[in-house]
Each structure stands twice: as C-alpha cells, then as structure tokens.
Amino acid sequence: MAAILCTGANFLAKPTEPLLRFLPGRGFSMGWHHTSAAYSIFGTTTPEYSWTATRPGTPLFPCESLFASVSYGSGSFSGEEYTDTVTLSDSLVITGQSIGVASSATGFSGVDGILGIGPVALTSGTVSNTDTVPTVTDNLYSAGTINTEVIGIYYVPAAESDATGTLDFGATDDSQYTGDITYTPVTSTSPASGYWGIDQSISYGGSTILESTAGIVDTGTTLLLLASDAFSKYEKATGGTLDSTTGLLKITSSQYSALSDLDFNIGGTTFTLNANAQIWPRSLNSQIGGESGSIYLIASDIGTNSGTGLDFINGYAFLERFYSVFDTTNSQVGFATTQYTTSTSN
C-alpha cells in the first residue's frame, strides 16, 4: 500500500525498522503528512488486511453514517468514516482507529492513502457530528503501546542510491543521528501554533535574511518555502533567476560553486544546508520538467511577506538532511544532524 505520511515514531520494545517494514507486506503504499492528522485510504482494495478493505470496519457510530472531508495543500478527499484495526507492525497494533475511506480523491496519484501525524486539532471539522478524531499516535499512546507520544523521522536523501527512511514510534533512535537532538518548543504564534510550528531565524552567507519568526515543519511540503521578503534576499544573494518551467530559481555552475551556507538557528543551534543541500537533485530534474544538467534551488517563495505568523515551511528538502522529532507529550520539535547532512548527492 502506498501512502503519504503527515509526520511518524519508534516502538520502545523493538529496534527501528524501515517504513516499509511497518506496513503490510504488499498491496499498498502509505505516505505521511505533518499538516494533517487524518488517517485516510483512497480507492478500493481487497480485504486482505482489515485496514484496507472497501468497508474496513464499522461506521464510527453504528446508527449513522459519518461524512469525512479533508483538504490538503496538494489535494483533497471525501468519503465516509469507519473504525478498524490498523497494524503497523507486530508490536504496533491499533484497535478502533478511525479511518476515512475516500469515495473521491484528487492530487494523490501513486499513493493509496495518508497517515496523518499532525496535531489532533487538525482533525476538527473533518468528520460530521464529531469534534476531533484521535490520531494513530494518540491511540498508540492512550493504549499504552508507546510510553511517550513522540515520532522520530529519518530520511536518506532522495538522490542517494538507497533512498529510504525510518519512522520511530514512541522514542528516538540514536543510531540514526549524530550528536545531540536540539529541542525547541512548539511556537505560540498563530497560525503556525496549530501545526508543528517552531520559531527560527535564517541566514545566508552570514547575513540574516529572515529574523526570528514562526513557521512550520512539514513532511508533506516538497521544498523550503520562505516569506517573500526573505526569498527576495536569497534570490539576490545567490544570483538565481526564476525558471518559468519549474517555478524554481535556476543558477549556473559558477553560481553553484559560489553558494554560501544557508543557516537555520533553531533553539540556539545552527543547522546548515550546504551548497549541495540547497539544490534540487539533478538526477530528478525530469520529475519537475527541468532540463538535464541544469541546477535549480530548492528554496521558493511562500507568497506573503514575513509577519503573518507562518513565515516559512521547512519541507522535505530541509528534513531529508536531518533527523526530526515531533513530541506531542512535551509540545516540542527536535532536530539532529545525520550522516547525510553534508551529503553531496544532489
């Protein structure tokens, strides 16, 4: 089953395993998503696994059919809400998990669903006659399956030959990161506070392009998005020119060689994207309609100037270089370097 994760975790009783080993042996792909908390299945499937059936259980309430509808940045789905047993691994089994079974979905080609791991408040208003719907991690924690409601996420960058990843449920895995994890509180600034929001400042080449401000961390966003005024400074400093085909900044080989570090100050620690981490994987240029051999930057314009309460999104392009931790119990987000932080695979 192929699905999108909207933010994941490590079960204390067993070592961390790759994402695919947390999912049924065949049939579906699930993705994860930080800006969603809903567990959703798209399309119809055979009932080989209880959590993948066309009618994967009973309605949330037996006397009525509940309507579910969720919009994401890249698509939406609507359908009915059911409860069933969800098995992530032999040790991670959730009974009575609420699941949205889509009768229609857009924007999710190539995946069969979304595993939402954002804050539970994001489920508000998504299911009829229901306030909020407990997430997968909420239910693992309330059942005592995990001792802390925390998710650790580790990526191998997309351009690496063994590009994979790991979700750690209930704990962090120190074999996946180097040094210490820096934690920072979830921001109090709205609207970022409603997501996995943090405060950070950003500098390029030692010069601040974005003063300390609030934004969000999101696995479901591909790029690094910056407030328009910060993006303008970055564009000028790098010499990039907007490419009409890809919508990304394009730079020459000499400009790439001259790129400075892009530094993120989070919780008093500096996390750096080196020159290679700031460019789109050249081996994947065709995926975005780009030219073979051309160089595109992964920072893009969020569309509004800073001061809105959501002035950046640290998306996948940022997250693939670090180990990230999403801690509901302590209302904090953590980051640590990995062996791929300074990779030059792009």
Highest CATH level, class, for 177-337:
mainly beta
DSSP 8-class letter at 234: H
pLDDT higher than threshold 50 for residue 24: no
DSSP 8-class letter at 111: -
Place of tokens 């060689």: 257
Residues above pLDDT 90, as percent of the chain: 57
Range 49-54 average pLDDT: 32
Q: What is the CATH number of domain 2-142?
A: 2.40.70.10
What are the residues whose beta carbons fall under 8 Å from the beta carbon of 80, sequence distance 6 or more? 59, 65, 66, 67, 68, 100, 101, 103
pLDDT tens across 101-117, in order?
777 777 767 777 778 88
What are the residues whose beta carbons fall under 8 Å from the beta carbon of 295, sequence distance 6 or more? 250, 251, 252, 253, 255, 256, 279, 280, 282
Check: pTM over 0.75? Answer yes or no.
Answer: yes
Rounded to whole angstroms, the Cα distance separating 121 from 199 reads 20
- 215 membership: H or E segment, kind and range: strand 207-217
**Residue range(s) of every CATH 2.40.70.10 domain in the chain:** 2-142, 177-337
pLDDT tens across 217-261, in order?
998 899 999 999 999 999 999 999 999 999 999 999 999 999 999
Evaluate whether 17 touches 169 at the Cβ level (below 8 Å): no
pLDDT tens across 54-104, in order?
344 454 444 344 556 666 666 677 777 778 888 888 889 988 888 877 777
pLDDT tens across 264-310, in order?
999 999 999 999 999 999 999 999 999 999 999 999 999 999 999 99
Q: Which one-letter amino acid corresponds to residue 237?
A: A
